[in-house]
Amino acid sequence: MSSLDAIQHLWRHCALDPAWLPQLRLSGHGPILPSSFALDAAAQACLAASGLAAASFHHLRSGEKQTVAVDLRHAVAEFRSEHYLRVDGSQPADPWDKIAGIYRCGDGRWLRIHTNFPHHCQGVLRLLQCEYDKTAVAEALQDWKAFDFEDAAASHGLVATALRSFEEWDAHPQGVAVAAQPVFSISRIGDAPPQALPAADRPLGGVRALDLSRIIAGPLGGRVLAAHGADVLHITSPRLPTIPTLDMDMGRGKRNAQLDLDQADGCAALRRLLADAHIFLQGYRPGGLAERGFSPEDAARARPGIVYVSLSAYGKQGPWAGRRGFDSLTQTASGFNIAEAAAAGSDTPRAFPAQALDHIAGYFAALGALAALHRQQQEGGSWHVEVSLAQAGHWLRGLGRVEGAMGLAVPALDDVRPWLEESDSGFGRLLAVSHATRLSLTPARWTLPSMPLDSHAPAWAV
């Protein structure tokens, strides 16, 4: 499937005006990334669809119509933006934990564990009863069957998945549930009049977005909204770990505050922010915010007209709907690692050359939020957008396979220099990938520097 076909599919799914599609200007040819999947087309399609939705929303507010251009190589660079980040000329420390990765279990099957957060790492070591050492982990897993460890890890709130083929995933109850769901969902969850927005010279000027997410997918969605002018307030918890490199890259254009939602005053402060928000984007474990009084329905009652965006690993249906997960684990569970290995002629599972599911889901979160904002302005209501990594993967599979790309080199820093920009930040001088979507009248840009977490008060900009 071509980039344009993929964009048209997403546009129809969002029920946006097809008269906007001729405003697209797509350029570039692939393949670029060493993958047997259409990662290049996925990157261009996700960026173009979200940018076109921003242009359409600007037209809804101002009457101005503009073109939207996306270069394929620039889109692919942004699809891997965290890999190209430099701070004061140096690459940030590798956030990957030394025991994270893929192992063979005692039954001969492969298993991937994720230990980049300290509590996940400590939990895996307790479950395995071994030392913090890769060899020790490999030896301990010889006493386990892969599927048994996968289930045991989930029961302890940890993250690990057994390697499956597409055939095994498609027959698994969660794979069946994912295949039955749309690429992402947009549903009305309450009544409200259209929200008044101030006059603005950018698509999302005057739109206030709360971003309660970590790592890549959710923060990326918030970064896209900020690129089009939204006032994005990133709310983190002092209790939850993050990955600093990703905070630097994904934090461009946002302000950062911390609230402890395990405390009454933290929840009260978030309710005050919610009362004036237009978008509430969250990537907590399924049900985590509902326990604190911030479910989609709670938010719609507290702030009629809200667009509430939920990100999860496996979607809202199926036996894994409540499971935690990350991009690499979802790739492993849903068949991609085996398919990529087979395409490369390898017996060892092979991951994508990008955190593709995270990036797709992040752009889907922004696209879904923009589509819901269209509906809110045109017909009123409160809206819930639901996106998952597994659904992003199912959509990617639908784009088809690519021949002859597995031997390509991953683009290096010098290959993407035309699309890098420098800026001051709270971490030092940043070199990072610019936004690949080029709007002719309202250029996407981040007007605020990336800053450390808790740099700002939990309050909206005046």
Tell me the average pLDDT across 248-257. Answer: 97
Taking the C-alpha atoms of residue 449 and residue 274, their distance in angstroms, rounded to an integer, is 24
Tell me the average pLDDT across 432-444. Answer: 98
Taking the C-alpha atoms of residue 68 and residue 24, their distance in angstroms, rounded to an integer, is 5
pLDDT-wise least confident of 187-191, 205-209, 458-462: 458-462
Q: Is the pLDDT of residue 148 over 90?
A: yes
Taking the C-alpha atoms of residue 412 and residue 430, their distance in angstroms, rounded to an integer, is 17
Q: Which two tokens stand for residue 381?
A: 């209501």
Q: What is the pTM of this model?
A: 0.97
Tell me the average pLDDT across 401-412. Answer: 97
Instruction: Work out the percent of the chain whose per-residue pLDDT is above 90.
Output: 97
Tell me the average pLDDT across 431-454. Answer: 97
Look at residue 462 in the predicted model and tell me its pLDDT. 78
Question: What pLDDT digit, counting tens, does each position of 79-134 carry?
Answer: 999 999 999 999 998 888 999 999 999 999 999 999 999 999 999 999 999 999 99
pLDDT band at 182 (very low <50, low <70, confident <90, very high): very high
Q: Is 76 in contact with 32 (CB distance < 8 Å)? A: yes
Cβ-proximal residues to 145 (8 Å cutoff; 6+ apart), any chain: 105, 106, 107, 109
pLDDT band at 434 (very low <50, low <70, confident <90, very high): very high
Look at residue 285 in the predicted model and tell me its pLDDT. 86
Look at residue 281 in the predicted model and tell me its pLDDT. 98
pLDDT band at 460 (very low <50, low <70, confident <90, very high): very high
Side chain identity at 81, as an amino acid letter? S
Question: What pLDDT digit, counting tens, does each position of 345-354 carry?
Answer: 999 999 999 9
Q: Is 2 in contact with 31 (CB distance < 8 Å)? A: no
Q: Please name the residue that has the structure tokens 């509590």.
A: 119
Tell me the average pLDDT across 229-243. Answer: 95
Q: How far is CA 18 from CA 69, 146, 244, 364, in A?
A: 17, 47, 40, 18
Tell me the average pLDDT across 258-284. Answer: 97
Look at residue 275 in the predicted model and tell me its pLDDT. 98
Look at residue 110 in the predicted model and tell me its pLDDT. 98
Look at residue 286 in the predicted model and tell me its pLDDT. 87
What does the buried/exposed string (b/e) look like for 224-240 if buried means 16 or more CB atoms within 10 Å of the residue's CB? bbbbbbbbbbbbbbeee
Look at residue 7 in the predicted model and tell me its pLDDT. 98
Look at residue 265 in the predicted model and tell me its pLDDT. 97
Q: Are strands 382-388 and 185-190 parallel, antiparallel or unpaired?
A: antiparallel
Look at residue 94 in the predicted model and tell me its pLDDT. 81
What does the buried/exposed string (b/e) look like for 310-332 if buried means 16 or more CB atoms within 10 Å of the residue's CB? bbbbbbbebebbebbbbbbbbbb
Q: Is the alpha carbon torsion for 453, 457, 458, 462 positive or negative?
A: negative
Look at residue 450 in the predicted model and tell me its pLDDT. 97
Question: What pLDDT digit, counting tens, does each position of 18-68 carry?
Answer: 999 999 999 999 999 999 999 999 999 999 999 999 999 999 999 999 999
Look at residue 96 in the predicted model and tell me its pLDDT. 86
Average pLDDT of the chain is: 97
Q: Is the pLDDT of residue 1 over 90?
A: no
Look at residue 134 in the predicted model and tell me its pLDDT. 96
Look at residue 379 in the predicted model and tell me its pLDDT. 97
Give the three-state DSSP class for 80.
coil
HEC assignment per residue over 176-215: HHHHCCCCCEEEEEECCCCCCCCCCCCCCCCCEEEEECCC
